[in-house]
Chain A
């Protein structure tokens, strides 16, 4: 299952969020060596982990957190706008109500065997697309390894570069933007063999600004809003 967590239902997810920050520290700092993110309490958390952040937590059958995404609203401060706008120097930082910036995507490599990892990676990507479609977002921006661009394109995800590739800690990365819509979701479901809906948003108060449509059909008015 992929569980949506915002500041409005976070009270139900205190343990899960703690596990997520712990997992992010183990993966990004201890495993991948992003020393700038190292924290004394071993919880990888920064100024963007605030009330505006939206998380997707991938949980296994026992409810353990085995993967996560962090999404930031591009109309608010986010990494491309405030930390590294230079990575988007050619096309500019893309901001809008329908655009979310994706950061800190990870799957817990230490808790999963190879087959489970593969499945988790696919589920977390399909779940991301499903979330975008059902929540009415249209575009994602993200920093991605250049080597993944070819794979995105082959699956049919129409990524476009926003800037020139840069080398960060020995890995060539590039800022990308991609449309996410029902068609892209269908392609991804087919490519990854993940047919069923994955995403739930539990415990949000009545009238919550974030609503998930019950189905993946494009919502009326979405295109008009672009």
Chain B
């Protein structure tokens, strides 16, 4: 009952969230209460048209998200495949990968501390299924918890869509060479301090370059900025 109350509190809280980062932050807190470490919300229904606007939000480990995107795993991820086929919430470990790439993806996810997880389909505005997938090392959800997490996720996604629609779509400006350079090092897993050492600039300056890149790319996390920059071919994967 504790988790049920948590999910219902989140549903109330969503009403008071007026910006995307704080909404994403509070959803991340919610899934942690449910024992999940991170999530990715994206649209797997048209993998050939994967653009940055189909990756709606993510707290996946940066290394994993970059690897997953640059390896084109969206085509073969067994979890996403299962969502599209069955159209209902599913626990990762109940899925058997039916090809080699699929098994490899599941194995590699384990290396990023995602040995199990929960995924669910949500209808997007234009009727396509959107997948929300959450990873964990310790899966402890029962049926009731899963139902509550599913419900809360719908409220998260609906509010996210609303806030995205409200934010005026400003023309996305290109990254400067310095911003691209810093973001490339972010993609390689470097911290602001490490980047500052490599480029021989102040740590604060490195931080600002990265933050500017995030703003320009309309990204909420560094991983997302890297993903968008790769997808829009502003940095190399």
Interface residues of A (CB under 8 A from B): 90-91, 146-147, 149-151, 153-154, 160-161, 164-166, 172, 174
Contacts and interface: CB of A to CB of B under 8 A. Distances in A.
A146 B151 contact: yes
A146 B11 contact: no
Interface string B143-186: 01001101100110111011000000000000000000000000
Given A147-B123, A154-B161, A164-B148, 11 more contacts: A146-B150, A146-B154, A149-B154, A153-B155, A153-B159, A153-B162, A154-B158, A160-B12, A165-B150, A165-B151, A174-B151
Q: Is the interface of B mostly helix, strand, loop or mixed?
A: helix
A172 B8 contact: no
Interface residues of B, number: 21
Contact of A164 (B144, B157, B158, B161): B144
Contacts of A160: 11-12
B4 interface: yes
Given A147-B123, A150-B122, A150-B123, A161 B151 contact: yes
B6 to A, nearest CB: 11
B125 interface: yes
Nearest to B146: A165
Nearest to A165: B147
Nearest to B8: A90
A154 to B, nearest CB: 6
A150 B158 contact: yes
Contacts of B147: 164-166, 172
B57 to A, nearest CB: 15
Nearest to A160: B11
A174 B151 CA distance: 9
